């Protein structure tokens, strides 16, 4: 059986909404269903060693993926949730819209963690409540948002990730190796505490939406990009909002969240 991962494509921004069941959406209720339990689990075990990204390897230094951002979302009611993000300018972090509002629970503040392979400790830490969701966000389309932060100083552990130019965005990324990273689980079946909470990464292959459509019950839109999860590789709980990047003409580009 073949498995595919679905990402929101960054460079096609506005779309009409589809009328689909909210209950079937993978992002509805993300915080209470995934983010809060994952935040508790990471916080408890962050000081121990071991293994997040499914089928991936641990990132041992922040210099490896310096554009990776960890996000701790403070929720209404007092709980905390976790997501990932990407630093696209010295004052902007790109993430998934459902990390701010998942249709059920809303965040009131993000703690942005930069230059760290752990999310609850280390690195440069900034707080913000200045988050803008896509105006046409719904449970299946336009799941993208940016957080405005105080200007950060770039270093070997904090770097920007480039967005595709118009010309680059018009091409297909099919066949390229995509790099995904995050602080989430390292197994779909993982229910016990891991021995580590460090940032993990893995490589997946970008595939066509036509191939992806055959594996998903929901409609695959032109604003989506799919990757091949053969071998059990892909994102998992807690990785929401994190980067999907490719290397094109010796330049690493952010093509999905």
Q: Residues with catalytic annotation?
A: 98, 143, 240
In the structure encoding, which two tokens stand for residue 205, read together?
């292959």
Distance CA 254, CA 91 (A): 17
In the structure encoding, which two tokens stand for residue 210, read together?
């036509």
What is the distance, to the nearest Å, from the Cα of residue 72 to the centroid of all Cα atoms in its chain? 13
Torsion over CA of 125, 130, 136 and 139, rounded to 10 degrees? 40
Distance CA 139, CA 141 (A): 6
Asked if 29 and 102 touch (Cβ cutoff 8 Å), the reply is yes
Tell me the three state secondary structure of residue 7: strand
Distance CA 69, CA 93 (A): 8
Tell me the three state secondary structure of residue 167: helix
Distance CA 28, CA 21 (A): 10
Q: Which residues of 104-140 are buried (b: 16+ CB within 10 A; e: fewer)?
A: ebebeebbbbbbbbbbbebbbbbebeebebbeebbbb
């Amino acid at each position: 059986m073949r498995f595919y991962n679905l990402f929101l494509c960054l460079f096609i921004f506005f779309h009409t909404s589809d009328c689909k069941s909210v209950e079937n959406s993978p992002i509805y209720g993300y915080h209470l269903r995934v983010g809060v339990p994952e935040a508790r689990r990471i916080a408890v075990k962050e000081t121990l060693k071991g293994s997040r990204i499914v089928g991936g390897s641990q990132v041992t230094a922040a210099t490896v993926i310096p554009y990776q951002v960890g996000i701790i979302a403070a929720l209404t009611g007092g709980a905390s949730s976790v997501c990932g993000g990407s630093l696209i300018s010295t004052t902007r972090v790109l993430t998934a819209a459902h990390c701010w509002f998942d249709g059920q629970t809303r965040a009131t503040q993000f703690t942005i963690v930069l230059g760290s392979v752990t999310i609850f400790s280390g690195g440069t830490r900034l707080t913000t409540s200045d988050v803008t969701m896509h105006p046409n966000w719904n449970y299946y389309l336009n799941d993208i948002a940016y957080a405005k932060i105080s200007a950060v100083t770039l270093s070997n552990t904090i770097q920007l990730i480039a967005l595709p130019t118009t010309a680059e965005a018009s091409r297909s990324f099919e066949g390229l190796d995509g790099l995904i990273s995050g602080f989430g689980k390292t197994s779909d079946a993982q229910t016990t505490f891991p021995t580590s909470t460090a940032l993990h990464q893995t490589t997946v292959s970008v595939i066509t939406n036509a191939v992806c459509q055959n594996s998903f019950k929901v409609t695959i839109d032109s604003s989506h990009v799919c990757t091949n999860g053969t071998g059990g590789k892909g994102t998992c709980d807690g990785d929401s909002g994190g980067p999907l990047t490719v290397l094109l003409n010796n330049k690493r580009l952010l093509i999905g969240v």
